[in-house]
Amino acid sequence: ADDGYRLWLKYNLIKDVPKREAYARSAQFIALTGTSPILKSAAEELQTGLQGLLGKTVPIIANAGNRTGGIVLTNASGADVQTLTKEGYKLASRKGSNITVSGKTDSGVLYGVFALLRQLQTGQAIDNLSLAGNPKIQYRLLNHWDNTNGTIERGYAGESLWKWYELPATVDPRYRDYARANASLGINGTVVNNVNASARFLTAEYIEKVATLANVFRPYGIRIYLSVYFPAPKVIGGLKTADPLDPEVKKWWADKTNEIYKLIPDFGGFLVKANSEGEPGPQDYRRNHADGANMLAEALAPYDGIVMWRAFVYKADPKSDRFKAAHEEFTPLDGQFDKKVIVQVKNGPIDFQPREPFSPLFGNMPKTPLSMEFQVTQEYTGFATHWVYEAPIFKECLETDTYVKGKGSTVAKVIDGSLHQYTMTAIAGVANTGTDRNWTGNSMAQANWYAYGRLAWDHTLSSENIADEWVKMTLTSEPKAVKTITDLMMRSREIYVDYNTPLGLSRPWSGVHFAPEPWQEKSVRPDWTAIYYHRADSIGLGFDRTATGSNALAQYRPEVQKQWNNPETCPLPYLLWFHHVPWTKKLSTGRTLWDELCTRFYTGADSVGWMQKQWAQVESAVDPVIFADVTGRLATQHKEAIWWRDSWVLYLQTYSKQPIPAPFKKPDRT
Ligand code: GCW
């Protein structure tokens, strides 16, 4: 049985014998010139993969000489690799010759090896190969919201992978498997601790532990980064202030940075959450975000490290619109950041909702590299119970047109740097990993880690193709089952939106962010209530962000405003994000708002029943342990989808005073 530990690097024996034999004829040896740790990882991974897929040990040799029928790994510099960027790779093969995997750097070769293995894992031909891959984004990171005590903020798959208590003396072999999985996707950096950071991570005690992890990750081309607690100079440094312009504070950070680089010479840099949700920051000293970020950039100046400064900020003001806060605070600072600073922006203006419009910061800071922060962990998409394939969430944002430089100025072009010629480009995914045997709790959520990584490398890949690849590498190659599962994945997000937050509702209120509690009208902060977001009243539902309301729409270009500012033509998925719509208003579907809401809530919850039936059909094609686990989770999802439906419908009904439409009022309804 399969417990899911091996992820998409399963390398099960290829059952199609002629195919396996054909592959084997082209993979009789692995020739490796070079001895660097990354090249060694590449050759070893290839050997491991081939051992599983072909059922035989393929020898690693130092030089192919005039042998043919093997795989040659080279870090080359010649004409062949001229079109490659630093981490790009090239696969080439001709009949009667060798397969070559080349890159300009060792990492390029490593990524090429994984691309070659992917060809085999997904059953594609490897003769006449001519494939090149270049990452579109330079810094491709996971962000772990992991704490010193082993808990994970918004983690749903067990405890933190990092066993701080055991480190540095004991090195869990799992750290290496984590690195392999990431390298297979092209992820080249990881921030190991929570953005709500503990200052302890900057103590000598922890730097040594972190350095031990860095040593494990390095042979896989992965650099380590730390989230920092802005007042660390006070908390662990004994200074009276953490004012970023104070000379002693600057010196403290410079010294601390030197100390880190002594142990971790390829340290990646700092990630900072400051003056956000109660976290301290430069504004506590009447300085701004640029002052704070630039101070850290200065400390990093002697090194190849960067500062990722988050733009996730908003104030506890019931009269303001949280939607507008990041744009208001950050756009005036455009041009003031040091060249080592990237501003990290969440995909939407609020907070990782199941569906959000893109953040209006994208496109509006042409002089400051902006990076994308996606959430892979399912804080708002059903934890590890609900099956939600996230690639369509990521793609929807990346493909939206900002119109900042005319038609075609997509969010993807902002973050890959092509729109404003950014000198640095980055993307971050908040990780969904933990100590559960299968890494992600729900084994279907492995696909979200996978999809994030693949899109970080190449945002033009389609959600369907990524799903198809992942299913074949992870679950089954049986064609009908592949189709059934990818189809389920592709529909899963819309189904979730329908029973959770249809028509542009949002729900980031306080608490654990799971239970449906739309009735929550009081909290420690006025903007941490449900009513702040959904704005239900006797007239209707939704947040008016047009000129008659908060006017957040004005932060977008006129072309974007035009799509969203008219309630008659605003696409239904975004309707309640921008408009307060009367309950009795007729929508483009021909139904009133109230009837449409009910329709979505009921069909959404019913569709989970459809998911269960579809999943039942693939039983013979997937591993029994995974099958049973997902079957159980789907049953829970169905029950919870009904909770969501009923909570919203019954709560909203107290305002709408409308009956539940007839089709949904059957007596046999639970
Ligand atoms: O989504 C919210 C989460 C917080 C998180 C915060 C952030 C790490 O509820 O848990 O804190 O966003 O992104 O900073």
Q: Write the pLDDT tens digit of every residue in 643-653.
A: 999 999 999 99
What is the rounded average pLDDT of the residues 234-256? 98
Alpha helices in 439-564 (DSSP H): 446-457, 463-474, 479-500, 530-534, 558-564
One domain for residues 66 and 156? no
Q: What is the pLDDT of residue 53?
A: 98
Q: How confident is the model at residue 521 (pLDDT cuts 50, 70, 90)?
A: confident
Q: What is the pLDDT of residue 248?
A: 98
One domain for residues 429 and 539? no
Residue 283 to residues 271, 292, 350, 420, 528: CA-CA distances in angstroms? 17, 9, 21, 28, 22
Q: From the CA of 458, how far away is ligand 1's center (Å)?
A: 26
Task: Assess if residue 555 is contained within a domain.
Answer: no
Domain-ending residue, one of 105, 133, 161: 133
Q: How confident is the model at residue 78 (pLDDT cuts 50, 70, 90)?
A: confident
One domain for residues 212 and 360? yes
Task: Assess if residue 9 is contained within a domain.
Answer: no
At residue 190, what is the residue type? T
Q: Are 409 and 382 in contact (CB under 8 A)?
A: no
Does the annotation count 166 as an active-site position?
A: no
Tell me how many domains the chain contains: 3
What is the rounded average pLDDT of the residues 485-514? 93
Does the annotation count 351 as an active-site position?
A: yes
What is the rounded average pLDDT of the residues 50-71? 97
Q: What is the pLDDT of residue 515?
A: 82
Task: Assess if residue 669 is contained within a domain.
Answer: no
Q: What is the CATH number of the domain that holds 205?
A: 3.20.20.80
Task: Assess if residue 53 is contained within a domain.
Answer: yes
Please report the DSSP string for 381-410 in residue order.
Answer: TTTTTS----HHHHHHHHH-B--BTBTT-B
Share of the chain above pLDDT 90, in %: 93
Residues with CB under 6 A from ligand 1: 145, 153-154, 195-196, 273, 277, 312, 351-352, 379
One domain for residues 373 and 271? yes
Domain-ending residue, one of 133, 163, 178: 133
What is the rounded average pLDDT of the residues 452-467? 98
pLDDT at 423 over 70: yes
Task: Assess if residue 7 is contained within a domain.
Answer: no
What is the rounded average pLDDT of the residues 319-337? 97
One domain for residues 276 and 335? yes
One domain for residues 314 and 396? yes
Q: What is the pLDDT of residues 191-228, one digit of tens each?
A: 999 999 999 999 999 999 999 999 999 999 999 999 99
Least confident residue range of 76-85, 322-331, 450-459, 559-568: 76-85
Domain-ending residue, one of 425, 457, 474: 474
One domain for residues 592 and 532? yes
Q: How confident is the model at residue 67 (pLDDT cuts 50, 70, 90)?
A: very high
What is the rounded average pLDDT of the residues 490-512? 93
Residue among 16, 21, 205, 277 flagged as catalytic? 277
One domain for residues 398 and 519? no
Q: What is the CATH number of the domain that holds 611?
A: 3.90.1330.10
One domain for residues 245 and 215? yes
Least confident residue range of 207-221, 519-533, 604-618: 519-533
One domain for residues 470 and 510? no
CA distance 11 to 19: 15
Q: How confident is the model at residue 13 (pLDDT cuts 50, 70, 90)?
A: very high
Q: How confident is the model at residue 328 (pLDDT cuts 50, 70, 90)?
A: very high
Q: What is the CATH number of the domain that holds 125?
A: 3.30.379.10
Query: What is the torsion angle, in degrees rounded to the nearest 10, for the CA atoms of residue 348, residue 353, residue 357 and residue 360?
Result: -20
pLDDT at 374 over 70: yes
Q: How confident is the model at residue 524 (pLDDT cuts 50, 70, 90)?
A: confident
Q: From the CA of 526, how far away is ligand 1's center (Å)?
A: 17
Average pLDDT, the chain: 96
Share of the chain above pLDDT 70, in %: 99
What is the rounded average pLDDT of the residues 260-282? 98
One domain for residues 183 and 272? yes
Q: What is the pLDDT of residue 665?
A: 81
Residue 261 to residues 164, 185, 268, 298, 358: CA-CA distances in angstroms? 20, 27, 10, 14, 37
Task: Assess if residue 75 is contained within a domain.
Answer: yes
Task: Assess if residue 359 is contained within a domain.
Answer: yes
Does the annotation count 640 as an active-site position?
A: no
Q: Tell me which residue range forms the domain holding 633.
A: 499-543+580-664
One domain for residues 144 and 110? no
Q: From the CA of 667, how far away is ligand 1's center (Å)?
A: 42
pLDDT at 669 over 60: no
Q: What is the pLDDT of residue 667?
A: 58
Task: Assess if residue 22 is contained within a domain.
Answer: yes
List the structure tokens of 45. Answer: 């991974």
Residue among 87, 243, 291, 351 flagged as catalytic? 351
